[in-house]
Amino acid sequence: MGPLCGGMGEVGCPGHEDAGAGGRADDPRAGGAVARLLRDAGMRDVAETDVRGFLEPASAAEYWAYCTQVLAPVVAELAAANSAARARIQATVLGRVRAFDRDGQPRLPLHARCITAAK
């Protein structure tokens, strides 16, 4: 579970326990759900590739700023939370990100799935 997901459980973010941001179908652990949808829609040459690497924001605060400004499910859930819950979520996420600090800079492992198809 990524640092953000654990904090979002505070406001009941769907799938926070075992999936990416918001429990999306394109999560690497979803087992080909999107590929099946593409095939069912008549696409051909459907291919899935796992992409692994590291996200290296300058700081935990930069990671938090990115998540709260860009990731739509996060923005929506935080907007629905009261100020005390937002503060707890932020503290949880920042603490989890800081656990990945290497010489003052977080190095967060990432795993995504890239899916391609042709008409």
Each domain of the chain, given as residue ranges in start order, spans 3-118
Residue 116 DSSP label: E
Contact 20, 5 (CB under 8 A): yes
Q: Using one digit for the tens of pLDDT, what is the confidence trace for 76-111? A: 888 888 999 999 989 998 999 999 998 889 999 988
Residue 28 DSSP label: G
Give mean pLDDT, residues 59-63. 92
Q: Whole-model pTM?
A: 0.62
